[in-house]
Each structure stands twice: as structure tokens, then as C-alpha cells.
Amino acid sequence: MPLPPAHPSRPTLSDTILASAQNVQAVLAGRSLSDSLSTTPAALRASVQAVAFHTLRNLGLAREIKLLMVKRTPPNQLFDALLLVSLALLETAIDAAETPPDTSPARRHIPVYAVHTVVDQAVGVIDGQKKLQPYKALLNGVLRSYIRERPGILTQARKNPEARYNHPAWWIHRLRKAYPDQWQALLAAANIPGPMTLRVNARRASVADLMTALQDAGISAVSSSEHAITLASPLPVHDIPGFDEGWWSVQDMAAQQAAMLLPLTPGMRVLDACAAPGGKTAHILERADVELLALDTDPQRLQRIHQNLQRVGLDGDHVSTKCADAADPASWWDERPFDAVLADVPCTASGVVRRHPDIRWLRREADIRRTAQLQGQIIDALWTTVGPGGHMLYATCSIFPQEGEQQAEQFAQRHADARRLPAPGQLLPLDGAGGVTHDGFFYALFAKTA
């Protein structure tokens, strides 16, 4: 559990580095970063998020540098994480001092401090941590040696692909195999934070209304599609006009395609089978007056569906939610067929690593097969609930083909009554139109022929 800073009102860089190390330690122990960050004191959260994200985006390199420089790492996990955070910040500090400043939007998120500030503040962390006292000289020595010996160490470290690409070796191998011409671009893109994109609620506002309100508030943004606006820089939702009024929701451009791909007409019976926290549920209801059932196995996440629908003004008798397993219709289905089913199934989330830099380190290669198996079970079960002439949209935020094209092909082979309709298939998180990138997603649409 992260400790409060020494001076809650004026956190120092040492406070940030310590809390970042505690968060990185939590991720290395298998906890998700967003979960761990939620226990970081509010006054530190923004700076810690920046430094922890940066460390996880550079973890392969920091680990390799550490291995080359510290022959025997002391058996203290917090110290280990402190070394990794300090090395990631130090490498960036030296790089920034040696190269012209890069203020492009893609680089603006990077926490850059002066080289000696990083060393002093990192070593200063130890002064307030009794259990780390024995390692003060080691940390000081490693950081100062790195400043002197960097060129050779860096060259040596980058021979390891995990250090060069900052992803686990198995992940690099999988992408290389699946995308022989694009794997390096995909790995590079995964280290650039995604933009903040807003989906405009057509029932409450238009893109033109919101663009005017943003301009009046001095917020720079572009209209990125008929229903979407992308901000030049991310902002807290309450700093953007119209959030409480339900004018818009935060949703990536690729995720916005789900409700657009699903054929919807008023009065239809729609199932959103893996619905929480309800981003796509809200979009479906913004598009058409339908009767909707939303399922999810996670009771806490399920509650957020109603909160989100209330904010956009679309909660009501036409929407019901159930905490239930989509793969077991006998436990929740009343046998009245659905006209449209959205199967936004659980996945490895390999398409959204730019927003969640911990994912690549938390996943194991075996998760792909395990998740693909679960996805197959869910969509086979959901298919039984689709009425003749009805549709099912299969969606994942993954770029591994086992959860995308291979899953869709195998489903079509298993179900003679499934006709595959045009849908984008694999969307890769690479530069889209106008330079605005979207997350990695997969979509396959099926119609029931009998």
C-alpha cells in the first residue's frame, strides 16, 4: 500500500519516485496498475501515473540495464522497483539532455527531469525508508556509473529484443509472426499514449455544438468523425464542457464502431452480452429506441452501466441488467430471441496497451489460448439466443489473430446457419486518417440465416 507523501500539499519528486516504485512493485507482483494507482494519495496520483506509465513503457530496457550493472540484486522488491523507476527516468533525462527537445504531441507525456535531479531525488527516497538504508550506496553508485558508462551499457542492453522493444519476448514473437511487415510499427505505437476521443451523444448534442463549446473553453480539438471529437491533449472529464449534461462519453474511435456496425432499428430486442461498464450499451441506446438486456459477470462493473446510462439520459424501463455468465444462457435467458447481440467478449486487451502499459507485463503467453477458448464458448452460447434473420457482432480489443480472424473463421465453420457480413475485421492501432490513431480492435458480423 503506497505511503502518504512527507508533505501532502507539496509532493517532491522523491515522493513521486517512491510511490511510482510501489506501483511498479505491485504490477511486477501481478496487480493491475489502475487498481494499484487507486490507492495512491490523490495529491500524487497524476505525477505517479506519468512516472509509473513511463517506467512500464521502458521496463524491458530498465531491466536489462539493471541486469548488466547490478550483479546481485538485493532481495528487496521495493528496492528492485526503485532501481527500475530510477533507471527509466535517468535514461530519459540523459537522452533529453543530449538531443534537441521534442515537443510533438506523441512525446509530451514523457516525464523529463534534469539528470542530477533524478539522481539526487531517487537517492533521497532512501533517506525516508529505513528498510532501504543498506542499499543507498548501491543506488547512488549504479546511477552515477550509468551516467559515465551509458553508451556501452545501452548498446549492450539493446541487443536484447525485450530491451529494444520494451515488450516480453513472446509478445514480440507473436506480433512478428502475425504481422511480418508491421510488427515493429505496432510495438513502437504501443509506447505512444492514445489520444482522448469523445463520442458525441446525438440525442443531446452535435459535433458542431461541442466543437463550439470546446473552442469557447479554449480547448483545442479536431472533429475526427461524424460523431467523434479528438482532443489535442487529454483532460480530466470535468474540465471539458458538457460531461455532466451527458453530451458526450470518452470512447476510442475503434470502440465507437461497435454500435455503428450492429444493424439496429426501433423496437428491436438487443442483448449486450459483456456490457460493463456500458460504453457500447450507451452508444446502442443513443442510436435507436430498443429494448436492451445488458449482462456482465462482474457485479461492481455492472453497477457502472446504470450510472453511465443515467448521465447520458438513457436509463429507463427499456433497459435491464443482469449479473450473469453469457456462456450459460440457461441461467438468464427467457427464450425470447434477440434481433441483435453484441459480444464484446473478454480478451487479452493486446490492442489497448498504449493506454494500459502494464498489460504486456501482466499477460502470459498461455492467456491467449485460454481467452480464445472462453470467447469461443461465449459466442457459441450466445448464437442460440439470436433469432432467424438476427445479427451477432463479435468484438475484441485484441490484435492477436487467435482472438480475431481465427476465432471468427472457426465460428463460421462450426455454425452452418451463420453468414459472415462485411465488417472491418482486424483494426490495427497504427496511423489512421488525419493522423488520429485508434486502438487495436477486431470486428466480425454474423447474420442468422435460418
Ligand X SMILES: C[S@@+](CC[C@H](N)C(=O)[O-])C[C@H]1O[C@@H](n2cnc3c(N)ncnc32)[C@H](O)[C@@H]1O
Show the binding pattern over residues 405-424: x = contacts ligand X (CB under 6 A), - = does not.
--------------------
Q: Which three cell numbers stand for residue 420?
A: 459472415
Distance of CA 293 to the CA centre of its chain: 26
**245 in contact with ligand X (CB under 6 A):** no
C-alpha–C-alpha distance, residues 312 and 322, integer Å: 20
- If the CB atoms of residues 346 and 357 are measured against ligand X, the closer one turns out to be 346
Q: Which amino acid is at 133?
A: Q
C-alpha–C-alpha distance, residues 85 and 65, integer Å: 12
- If the CB atoms of residues 41 and 277 are measured against ligand X, the closer one turns out to be 277
**353 in contact with ligand X (CB under 6 A):** no
Three-state SS for 101?
Answer: coil
C-alpha–C-alpha distance, residues 245 and 62, integer Å: 44
- Sorted by sequence, the CB contacts under 8 Å of residue 236 that are 6+ apart come out as none
Only one of the segments 143-151, 176-184, 278-286, 312-320 lies at the binding site for ligand X (rule: CB under 6 A); that segment is 278-286
Query: Is 323 labeled as ligand-binding?
Result: no
Which one of 346, 351, 429, 440 is in contact with ligand X (CB under 6 A)?
346
How do beta strands 291-296 and 269-272 pair? parallel
We find the least distance from the C-beta atom of residue 272 to ligand X, in angstroms, to be 7
**298 in contact with ligand X (CB under 6 A):** yes
We find the least distance from the C-beta atom of residue 271 to ligand X, in angstroms, to be 11
**110 in contact with ligand X (CB under 6 A):** no
Which one of 280, 363, 391, 448 is in contact with ligand X (CB under 6 A)?
280
Cis? peptide before 134, omega within 30° of 0 = no
We find the least distance from the C-beta atom of residue 99 to ligand X, in angstroms, to be 39
Q: Which amino acid is at 439?
A: D
**278 in contact with ligand X (CB under 6 A):** yes
16, 26 contact by CB (below 8 A): no
Only one of the segments 49-57, 84-92, 292-300, 405-413 lies at the binding site for ligand X (rule: CB under 6 A); that segment is 292-300
82, 122 contact by CB (below 8 A): yes
**279 in contact with ligand X (CB under 6 A):** yes
Beta bridge partners of 393: 342, 445
Catalytic site includes residue 323:
no
**89 in contact with ligand X (CB under 6 A):** no
272, 295 contact by CB (below 8 A): yes
Catalytic annotation, residues: 397
| Residue list, annotated binding site | 274-280, 296, 325, 344
Contact footprint for ligand X (CB under 6 A): 274-280, 295-298, 301, 325-327, 344, 346, 378
